[in-house]
Amino acid sequence: MPTVERIIADVRESGREAWFYNVNAADPEKRAEVLNDVARRFDERKRDEQLRVLLHSLAFGTLRPFAPFEPGDEVTQKQMDMTCDVMAHSLVYWVQDCVRKKLMSRQGRIYAMTSTGSTQVWKGYGAVSAAKSALESHIRQLAFELGPLGITANAICAGVTDTPALKKIPDSDTMVQVALRKNPSHRLTTPEDVANALVALAQPCTYWLNGNVLYIDGGEGHTG
């Protein structure tokens, strides 16, 4: 939370507003509350504002194996459903609500954070991989349905980034070593690397760049 407060302060210092909601983004009621609040604020300001960028970045999934030697440790139906709901399907519901409430229209940009796990296997990463595969599929479908409205949808595949979420992955040390070896610049990706690219990508002139998985990773993902 101190980090969040620092970022909010940074944003405000630069003369912009920051509205922070600390809720479970996979909870339909919380989603409705947040978007209702955003809609109410927009209404009150009477500036005809809309959401320009929706960035989906939810990491909360099981890391159990599918079919281990030792039964008992394997992923359950409940865990699989939960992982896919939080990490993939929740994107669809947020977009549905934004479109329904007319919070996003022309020049809207939808991004979702995927990973190379969508196409590559990591030990224990099965449910998360499935969620990332589904997430990229959702992005393509949203690109198809919303493109004619001027809203684009693209997935972002960052390189391995040193974040709190990374450290929770069992084999994260190996992932870091592999990334440092593979990345052409032999360094990890930083949140700033991704944010900088999003500044360019979110501009109105990118309206025809739609339905992609964009690797913002310095070339790491395409290296063997």
163-202 positions binding its own copies, by CB under 8 A: 175, 178, 184-186, 189, 193-194, 196-197, 199-201
Least Cβ distance, residue 73 to its own copies (angstroms): 11
CA distance 157 to 217: 7
- Burial call 151-190: b when 16+ CB within 10 Å, e when fewer: bbbbbbbbbbbeeeebeebeeeeebbeebeebbeeeebbe
β-sheet bridge partners, residue 54? 110
Indicate the helix (H) or strand (E) that contains 198: helix 191-201
Please tell me whether residue 218 binds its own copies under the rule CB under 8 A: yes
Q: Of 194, 160, 190, 192, which Cα lies nearest the Cα of 178?
A: 160
Task: Report the residue from 92, 103, 166, 180 that binds its own copies according to the rule CB under 8 A.
Answer: 92
Nearest to its own copies of 58, 175 (CB atom): 175
- Considering only residues 103-142, where is the footprint of its own copies by CB under 8 A? 116-123, 125-126, 129-134, 136-138, 140-142
Please tell me whether residue 35 binds its own copies under the rule CB under 8 A: no
The one-letter code for the residue type at 81 is: D
Nearest to its own copies of 58, 129 (CB atom): 129
Task: Report the residue from 35, 86, 88, 188 that binds its own copies according to the rule CB under 8 A.
Answer: 88
Task: Report the residue from 57, 85, 162, 163 that binds its own copies according to the rule CB under 8 A.
Answer: 85
- Considering only residues 45-64, where is the footprint of its own copies by CB under 8 A? none
Nearest to its own copies of 38, 187 (CB atom): 187
Least Cβ distance, residue 25 to its own copies (angstroms): 14
Q: What are the angstrom distances between the C-alpha of 21 and each of 3, 11, 32? A: 14, 15, 12
How many residues would you count in the chain?
224
